[in-house]
Amino acid sequence: MSTDAMRPLGATADRATARLGSSLHVKGEISGNEDLLIDGTVEGLIQLDERKLTVGATAKLTADIIAREVVVYGTVKGNLRARDRIEIKKDGSVNGDLTTARIMIEDGAYFKGSIEIDKSSEKETTHSAFAKPASATAGTAASKTI
């Protein structure tokens, strides 16, 4: 079987996605330089500074998370810091504080904690004329959601 056939949809050679399966239980620190999909259980710290973390529907994380982007379909107990954005999907659950430039919480999602919109990291990466209205909209959406 070729490696292309094993690669998840949407992943490219330079943006490969690693996967922790639903039967895996990790205690300790996870760090790396590739996108990560977790379906199992993790207790500890997850640090993927410039990458995307996807918390799968069957995942149960008791962890602090630092990443470029975090998408939550499962359960997270811990603080999340994402340079770009955090998304909590409709069946997702987060109990902890969020720090990010952009936030999206879907109807039906569970969230308990505080949200800090950190615009400084967004300004470092985007110097577009559209950056200000986009971040203002994200801030307004976050305050409506809370």
Q: Which residues of the chain have pLDDT under 70?
A: 1-15, 121-146
**Under 8 Å between Cβ of 70 and 84:** no
Residue 8 confidence (pLDDT): 47
Long-range contacts of 26-33 (CB under 8 A, 24+ apart): none
Residue 16 confidence (pLDDT): 77
| Number of domains within the chain | 1
**Under 8 Å between Cβ of 90 and 71:** no
Residue 119 confidence (pLDDT): 84
pLDDT digits (tens, 9 = 90+) for 57-98: 999 999 999 999 999 999 999 999 999 999 999 999 999 999
Residue 123 confidence (pLDDT): 53
Q: Which domain does 49 fall in, by range?
A: 3-145
